[in-house]
């Protein structure tokens, strides 16, 4: 039963119970036994993704959307913790079998200890805002004239008004930092806020497609990931991150 067939109150209760469960022991949260493998962990995670992915709650209130993001993030952390335990060097032989199918995807800070077929993805890509579009940190002050200038007309003298420096908005930097650390729900929330605040700026829609591409790639949906990164480039052809993702993952 999907969330769309339930009243929002019942959905909130279910999300809160699921979040509480995934704040506990990861293996118990997924309902797995001591003989779990990478394959069974991935299957359990994929099953819950179909039910609790934040995209399924987009039509509900902001509070419910935030709760769904938090629940999915807790599930993702539990999933990563189980994978790290199975892929540790001290694990029994064969415990990490299948790990190559589920490496930490996106922009990992530390490479996974087990080899993965997606090793072409660099561990530290350049995730920064386009330099040409970054507002100046501190505009140079205008130099005052050496001497006052007498106006030609006999009307009242009007002093030139200097433009105030534009306010610096660090929300895009925060969103990129979330992307760098694979905090997908947080990055999506900031980028959605920016997209609503500036609907004519194509960058934010492009970054949203870029983020969705990594989410799809993380779930093994290569065709969907390629489509999202292509859509990101159609919104903003200068988005180097989307080009980098297509090249590094071999989906270009």
pLDDT of 8 strictly over 90: no
Average pLDDT of the residues in 121-137: 49
Average pLDDT of the residues in 23-28: 92
Query: What 3-state DSSP class applies to 204?
Result: helix
pLDDT of 11 strictly over 80: yes
d(CA 118, CA 248): 9
- Give buried/exposed letters for 104-119 (b at 16+ CB in 10 A, else e): bbbbbeeebebebebe
62-87 and 38-52 helices, crossing angle to 10°: 180
pLDDT of 108 strictly over 60: no
Distances (CA, A) of 151 to 146, 148, 155, 156, 159: 15, 9, 8, 9, 10
d(CA 128, CA 180): 9
pLDDT of 131 strictly over 60: no
Q: What is the chain's Cα-based Rg?
A: 24
The domains located in the chain, with CATH, are: 3-101 (1.10.287), 171-252 (1.25.40)
- Tell me how far the alpha carbon of residue 200 is from its chain's centroid: 21
Average pLDDT of the residues in 32-48: 93
d(CA 135, CA 229): 26
pLDDT of 235 strictly over 80: yes
pLDDT of 234 strictly over 80: yes
Distances (CA, A) of 142 to 145, 162, 163, 247: 9, 8, 10, 45
pLDDT of 107 strictly over 70: no
Predicted pLDDT at 160:
45
What is the chain's mean pLDDT, rounded?
A: 76
d(CA 16, CA 30): 16
d(CA 159, CA 149): 10
pLDDT of 151 strictly over 60: no
Give Cβ neighbours of residue 123 (< 8 Å, ≥ 6 apart). 107, 108, 109, 110, 111
For every residue of 42-86, DSSP letters joined together read HHHHHHHHHHH-GGGGTTS-HHHHHHHHHHHHHHHHHHHHHHHHH
d(CA 83, CA 114): 10
User: What are the tens digits of pLDDT across the range 154-201?
Assistant: 555 444 444 544 455 788 898 888 888 989 899 889 888 888 888 889
Whether the Cβ atoms of residue 36 and residue 96 lie closer than 8 Å to each other: no
Q: How confident is the model at residue 120 (pLDDT cuts 50, 70, 90)?
A: very low
d(CA 79, CA 234): 33
């Amino acid at each position: 039963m999907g969330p769309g067939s339930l009243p929002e109150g019942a959905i909130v209760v279910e999300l809160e119970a699921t979040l509480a469960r995934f704040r506990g022991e990861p293996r118990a949260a997924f309902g797995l036994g001591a003989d779990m493998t990478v394959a069974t962990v991935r299957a359990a995670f994929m099953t819950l993704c179909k039910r609790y992915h934040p995209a399924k709650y987009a039509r509900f209130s902001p509070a419910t959307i935030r709760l769904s993001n938090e629940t999915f993030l807790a599930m993702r952390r539990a999933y990563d913790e189980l994978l790290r335990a199975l892929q540790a060097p001290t694990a029994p032989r064969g415990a990490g079998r299948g790990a190559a199918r589920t490496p930490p995807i996106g922009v990992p800070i530390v490479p996974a200890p087990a080899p993965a077929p997606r090793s072409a993805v660099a561990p530290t890509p350049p995730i920064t805002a386009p330099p040409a579009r970054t507002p100046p940190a501190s505009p140079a002050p205008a130099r005052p004239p050496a001497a006052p200038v007498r106006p030609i007309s006999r009307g009242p003298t009007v002093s030139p008004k200097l433009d105030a420096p534009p306010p610096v908005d660090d929300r895009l930097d925060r969103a990129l930092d979330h992307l760098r650390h694979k905090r997908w729900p947080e990055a999506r929330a900031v980028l959605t806020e920016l997209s609503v605040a500036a609907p004519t700026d194509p960058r934010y829609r492009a970054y949203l497609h870029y983020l969705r591409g990594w989410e799809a790639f993380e779930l093994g949906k290569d065709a969907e990931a390629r489509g999202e990164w292509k859509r990101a480039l159609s919104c903003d052809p200068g988005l180097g991150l989307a080009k980098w993702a297509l090249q590094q993952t071999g989906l270009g």
